[in-house]
Amino acid sequence: MPTTRNWSGVPCTGARWVIRPSWGYGLIPTNDDLTLVLAAWPQAEVAQVKQDLQGNYLREVTANLGDWLDGGRQETRVVGEGVPNRFRKPYGPGWALVGDAGYAKDPVTAQGITDAFCDAELCAEALDATWRGSRGYAEALEEYQQHRDERALPMYEFTSQLADLAVPRRRRCSDCSARSPVTRKPWTSSPACSPAPCPSRNSSTPHTSRP
């Protein structure tokens, strides 16, 4: 559950993060020389936190971001809510969904606008094919869903793991050596950690979906 509020008098030229087991805090510069101050709780604690959202928020950010907030002033009210992760079928007779309307995930990876643009492009291509008469509506929109899911699912899975705010499992040196025997680098990059491009309509990746 992320909770945020804009502050003035908190100099911040780039995002700053403090991660604790099952908790997270951040500073993000925004418009009008304000800084977004964020605290995130586990979903299991949402009901308890909301009993005193303002008090719990202030207690957590001052305890974990206190030095950065010295001299700052809160300018907006605290807002926050638990965010369910879900996939929906994005089309039906006479309607289609794009972006968060079709599938939603925790905002921790900040992919919402990217998803909306990519989905809109794929959906527009499917509808164009239908209106031109080259493909039936159901066939074109089913392919739209397939391409949406294959593009979005890796980031969806990664976001769900990251939003748990769990401490990452430390890899053993033997694991790293086996995974990369030549370079022996302790970490390997994952395509799920960066936004995937909108796929081509000619993609043949099998369809996958999430409930």
Q: Render pLDDT for 42-59 as a digit per residue (tens, 0 to 9).
A: 777 878 888 898 999 999
Please report the DSSP string for the chain in residue order: -EEEEEEES---SS-EEEEETTEEEEEEE-STT-EEEEEE--GGGHHHHHTTHHHHHHHHHHHHHHHHHTT-EE-S--EE-----EE---EETTEE--GGGTEE--GGG--HHHHHHHHHHHHHHHHHHHHHTSS-HHHHHHHHHHHHHHHHHHHHHHHHHHTTTPPPPPPPHHHHHHH-TTT--S----GGGSPPPPPPTT--PPP----
Neighbours of 117 (CB within 10 A): 13
**Taking a C-beta distance cutoff of 8 angstroms, is the pair 104, 33 a contact?**
no
Residue 116 to residues 1, 121, 178, 200, Cα–Cα distance (Å): 22, 9, 39, 16
**Taking a C-beta distance cutoff of 8 angstroms, is the pair 37, 3 a contact?**
no
pTM for the whole thing? 0.64
Q: Render pLDDT for 65-107 as a digit per residue (tens, 0 to 9).
A: 988 999 899 999 888 777 778 899 999 999 999 999 999 888 8
pLDDT score of 9 more than 80? yes
**CA quadruple 70, 28, 164, 54: dihedral, nearest 10:** 50
Contacts of 57 (CB under 8 A, 6+ apart): 3, 5, 39, 78, 80
CATH code of 2-80, in short, is: 3.30.9.100
Quick check: helix, strand or coil at residue 104? strand
Q: Render pLDDT for 169-206 as a digit per residue (tens, 0 to 9).
A: 555 544 433 433 333 223 223 333 344 555 444 433 33
Ranges of each domain in the chain: 2-80, 86-193
Determine the topology of domain 86-193 in CATH. FAD/NAD(P)-binding domain (3.50.50)
What confidence tier does 20 reach under pLDDT thresholds 50, 70, 90?
confident
What confidence tier does 166 reach under pLDDT thresholds 50, 70, 90?
low
